[in-house]
Amino acid sequence: METKNNKKEKFVLRIYSILILLYAVFDIITGILPKFVPITIKPNINFINYFFTITGIALYTTPINMIVGYGLLRRRFWARYGAITVMLTFPVHVLTQFLWWGAQSLNDYAIVVEFLFVILTLLYFSRRSAKAVFGETRPFRFISWHGLLAVLIILISFSWVIFSLYWKVHAAWKFGYPFFIDRPQVIILEKPKSSETLVKYQKVELLNVSLLMPKEFGIRSLTKIEGKNQKWVVSLQNQGVHTKAFIKLGNNFIYDDLLIDEPFWKILGSGSEFNLEKYILTNNWNPRLVVIRSLIRPKGGSYEIKEIHRNDLRGFLKGWQRGEAFFKEFSVYNREDTQSISGTIMSIKGYLDENDALTILSSIEFLKPEDSGQSNNHYEKGLNSYKQGDILQTQVEFANAYFLSPENPDIIFMFAKSLLIKEPENDNYVKALLNKVLKLRPDHKGAQKLLKEMEPKLPKKARK
């Protein structure tokens, strides 16, 4: 009977130790070597990693994998204590995951499976038959080589928490970053009443969003982000020569450029841009976020963060002042997290104020994306608004038409022409539009005439 039990224990132990060593090899090939040597991995790495994670084998770090895995394969009695120690660090593993990546990164199902794996492993290594396989004839001594291995494993399990504490102290002492970030103040927005906004604002439907815009504003430029479907950035400001305020809008996630090489999406386990931004703005333990927050922090000052909510919207509002101007940077998401808009509102004191910023934000409504067939409708509406003298609405309608049909020379020409009303200082942008018209239709008389009229006003560099 004892012989049969030993054979069973040896078989289980061999499979277990081989899996640990395989995970060490997998970790080296996919996580360590690519940092030094370009390696292309064809198999589904995420699926393999998920298997090791869900079984709990991922609790072992690479050096411990190699040491304990080898010891278990050779049935060294100290390896049993190493495996037991690794399993006892499971709560530290969960705590580190929670501190670094937030509660949304914790998968309840995975934690339950890992916990069961830990319990089964501890029960397995504590059985007499398992001890007999290791030929254990002496008791565990803390002051010994196997005791040192246990201490090493415990220290490694706490390493990320210790590193976080060190970085927080270092950043607070040397760079003046707050040791703990305050939770954003929550403000509830209500849709503005039309009677209160008719005098100062005008409702516009610009691309895929409807919002209130100061009547004195006009469009300066519209840019479609290359390589990203239906992504755009539009700039507006008060009409006239002197800039008193501007508003910049875009539907691109504001942290995309900062998170190109970061595994946040994968580790957080959430496709929610709102949750990801909240994590970036409020997490206190992940040192990588100190760098990201330092990049978005306005130079020469700090800013306050507010979390904004409406029945169908949620988002964030960051505010700061610089000289005689105030800045409000915002990001707004619909509740389904399928649409978003972000931007910046700037104004000199006495022109717009914080109430104006909140009014604009509270008026935001997301529209269904339109297809290119709607461009002619916007073009006709733009012509009607042009005849009526409604400058802002004219520019908005031609901008919508231009976005939907960016290769239509007549639409591009009217959009360019509308931007010159009230002579805003965006001649270079208008010239680029007119050159695009002439590239598409070299004999376009209107574009040729308008460009000729603009030439004396352009700087020498812009004329070339």
Point out which residues pair with 232 in neighbouring strands. Answer: 224
For residue 1, the SS3 value is coil
pLDDT value of position 258: 63
- Per domain, the residue ranges of the chain are 2-157, 190-369, 371-464
Closest by CA to 283, choosing from 188, 184, 187, 185, is 184
Mean pLDDT by 10 residues, the chain (464 residues): 67 89 85 68 69 79 87 88 90 89 78 89 86 74 78 89 87 78 87 70 91 91 76 88 88 72 57 82 82 70 84 90 89 89 92 90 91 90 92 94 92 92 72 92 90 69 46
pLDDT value of position 105: 76
pLDDT value of position 392: 92
Sheet with 185-188, strands from edge to edge, namely 185-188, 304-310, 313-322, 325-334, 340-348, 245-250, 232-238, 217-224
Spatial separation of the C-alpha atoms in residues 434 and 177, rounded to whole Å: 48
Spatial separation of the C-alpha atoms in residues 209 and 360, rounded to whole Å: 12
For residue 275, the SS3 value is helix
Give the number of residues written for the chain: 464
The pTM (predicted TM-score) of the whole model is 0.77
Homologous superfamily of domain range 371-464: Tetratricopeptide repeat domain (1.25.40.10)
pLDDT value of position 265: 57
For residue 166, the SS3 value is helix
Measured at the CA of 24, the angle between CA 20 and CA 26, to 5 degrees, comes to 110
Contact 351, 238 (CB under 8 A): yes
Contact 164, 286 (CB under 8 A): yes
Strands (E), 104-191: 185-188
- For 190-369, CATH gives 3.40.1000
Name the amino acid, one letter, at 246: F
Contact 269, 98 (CB under 8 A): no
pLDDT value of position 42: 57
DSSP string for residues in 41-92: --S-HHHHHHHHHHHTGGGS-HHHHHHHHHHHHTT-HHHHHHHHHHHHTHHH
Neighbours of 135 (CB within 10 A): 9
Contact 399, 222 (CB under 8 A): yes
Q: 175: which 2 tokens?
A: 């760079």
| Eight-state DSSP code of residue 244 | S
Closest by CA to 385, choosing from 415, 350, 409, is 415
pLDDT value of position 229: 65
Neighbours of 286 (CB within 10 A): 19
pLDDT value of position 213: 93
pLDDT value of position 435: 92
Spatial separation of the C-alpha atoms in residues 159 and 155, rounded to whole Å: 6
